[in-house]
Structure 1
């Protein structure tokens, strides 16, 4: 009886072993993104959050930052490259038949601030015959400044002088050395100048040109749909973290990305950007935002004619 039972059990085990097994598909290897940028800015805090909180790993890709002096848009390669910069580069690239596309945004408002050597309030008309160190020729912040000057009946380069040929990292030092009466600059450099008593924030571009998103992720028009979607999901998590945390909480983990700044410096800059509404609730770009940018480029003669805006965006997965 026992022998018969053991034989029956053995047969059952053999039959079970012969049943077809459901194969688990192998996990996909994580995607890789190299993000190229030219300067550190508090506007990029959602991106730094992606790295600090490992949101890239959670969405199955690895993000690497690469800092350069100037952008060189390389030809298509197998490597997935993103460029963190102004959307104007995509508009200019289209005119030059360069295949650039916009993936997402990280800033809903300009983070550029106008500093004066004097702490006293200065009206726009009072800037006549003065010198402003601006953000660079053709840059969206510079064009927004020129638009604002014209709005206040000042002709750029005629009624006042704009210095547009200085590298980003040299502008604060040039201003501190005595050049110009005003400087257009982002955080945390603006707060650093204030702390050194070298300049005082008197105006912001965001208050003059509202709803002007100024920092975008652009790429060659190679399409990596899964990795692109994963990047936007990670960036969304970064944006939500910045919205939820206090300036003190953000500065506590973000200070490692700004070796020349203290937590106190970052807190002041973060408060300023939160007040201005610089960070969007979503990285998604709307057609209305592109229209605002295009209109500014047309009014400043950087574009000769409107562009087909849909062709500037990467396709959605």
Structure 2
């Protein structure tokens, strides 16, 4: 009987000792975060789902730290990607077609769509009693840079309404993107094609009036897409799947929350823009379905993109959807 008591006592001591050492052992090291470098073509409220994904910690949940930089322009953004200064580019899908036409050995692949319409608006200097597209004929129109998606979507829309932008308008395209708002504000042009928040700001200050949306008029397009080199997909497939999953979470959040809630979250990215104006812009984009609700770039959008490029005389060659679009990552991320 005494031997049994001793045995039980020894077992109890061993169990206690094991528990003590387990409790005192170092905590498990947290998984190492992976840094992904993203070059965005501009800083825009248009990209709200991306900023929401960062601020809400959706990338952290996927073990990713986003190193985000704004590269101001499609050419610079693509140069950053091709020179390995960025892992991922957020830019218009037309740039991947331009790179393909130049015979790139390492193709640039679209893998997650962020916006699905043009993001510009037609702003008139004088508020019309009613608006009709034919009112533009004979006017001076401040357009976007030749070869970029805003300009192509703009020309596509004008032609759809029977306006030849190069014959029926005094079309000005030599003003730098960043200087378009100030040029219009100083008195140049009867109409201007503007992104937000400048369009809403001009309307608020009585300097112009939004009369039409190029996003509504030109249809669904892979307007802004996350893309990367084919070699990066091959070597970092699992990372990209997690990245796409975080973007999808951001898209779902934007789709299911109010403009005011979204504005509060993304306000730190727009120091010079009042939160109320950010909410107005978000609401405008939400109302016309500009934000993609999932990262999947579908074939119909790709074909519409090439139709818009062809209409503007900017399509160097037709490229099949399957060549420059990867749907596997988006499909897996959405499961």
Q: Report the equivalent of 1:259.
A: 271
| 1:38–1:285 distance in 2 versus 1, CA, 3 Å | closer
Q: Report the equivalent of 1:94.
A: 100
Q: Report the equivalent of 2:37.
A: 34
Does residue 103 (structure 1) correspond to residue 106 (structure 2)? The answer is: no
| 1:74–1:248 distance in 2 versus 1, CA, 3 Å | closer
SS in 2 for 1:35: strand
Does residue 238 (structure 1) correspond to residue 244 (structure 2)? The answer is: no
Q: Does the 8 Å CA contact 2:118/2:153 hold for their aligned counterparts? A: no
The alpha-carbon deviation at position 213 of structure 1 amounts to: 3.2
Q: Report the equivalent of 2:287.
A: 275
Q: After superposing the two structures, state which structure 1 stretch, 28-37 or 280-289, moved more.
A: 28-37
Task: Give the unaligned 5+ runs of structure 2.
Answer: 19-27, 330-335
Q: Does the 8 Å CA contact 2:80/2:86 hold for their aligned counterparts? A: no
Structure-2 separation of matches of 1:76 and 1:169: 25
Q: After superposing the two structures, state which structure 1 stretch, 136-145 or 292-301, moved more.
A: 292-301
Q: How many residues align?
A: 307
The alpha-carbon deviation at position 289 of structure 1 amounts to: 1.4
The alpha-carbon deviation at position 242 of structure 1 amounts to: 1.0
| 1:200–1:296 distance in 2 versus 1, CA, 3 Å | same
The alpha-carbon deviation at position 8 of structure 1 amounts to: 8.7
The alpha-carbon deviation at position 304 of structure 1 amounts to: 4.3
Render the CA deviation track for 1:163-191: whole Å, top value 9, x for unaligned: 33333221111111111111111211211
Alignment of 1:43-192 (within 5 A): 43-70=46-73, 71=76, 72-75=79-82, 77=84, 81-98=87-104, 99-120=107-128, 121-192=130-201
The alpha-carbon deviation at position 131 of structure 1 amounts to: 2.0
Task: Give the unaligned 5+ runs of structure 1.
Answer: 18-24
Q: Superposition RMSD on alpha carbons, in Å?
A: 2.5
Structure-2 separation of matches of 1:145 and 1:213: 15
TM-score, normalised via structure 2 length? 0.83
SS in 2 for 1:285: coil
Q: Report the equivalent of 2:208.
A: 199
TM-score, normalised via structure 1 length? 0.88
Q: Does the 8 Å CA contact 1:149/1:156 hold for their aligned counterparts? A: yes
More helix by share: 2
